[in-house]
Amino acid sequence: MQVFTSLNKEYLALRKQTGDTCRLFNKSPSKGNLKRIRELFLECGEGVIIEAGFHCDYGNQITIGDRTFININCTVLDAPIDEGAITIGSDCLIGPNVQLLAVSHAVEPKQRLQKENFAAPITIGNNVWIGAGAIVLAGITIGDNSVIGAGSVVTKDVTANTVVVGNPAQKIRDI
Q: Do you know the residue count of the chain?
A: 175
pLDDT recorded at residue 31: 56
Q: Which domain holds residue 82?
A: 2-174
pLDDT at 32 (0 to 100): 52
Looking at residue 20, its pLDDT comes to: 94
Catalytic residue among 105, 112, 115, 173: 105
Q: Is the pTM of this model over 0.85?
A: yes
Rounded Cα gap, residues 21 and 124, in angstroms? 24
* Residue 82: C-alpha distances to residues 21, 22, 33, 42, 87 (Å): 21, 21, 27, 11, 11
E strands within 49-108? Answer: 49-50, 55-56, 62-64, 69-70, 75-77, 86-88, 93-94, 99-101, 103-105
Active site residue 55: no
Give the CA-trace dihedral at 166, 168, 171, 175, to 10 degrees: 60
Could you tell me the CATH number of the domain that includes residue 102?
Answer: 2.160.10.10
DSSP alpha helices (H): ranges in the chain? Answer: 9-27, 109-113
Task: Give the total number of structural domains in the chain.
Answer: 1
If the chain, 175 residues long, is cut into consecutive pieces of 10 residues, what is the mean pLDDT of each piece? 86 95 85 74 94 94 97 96 95 99 90 88 99 98 99 99 98 97
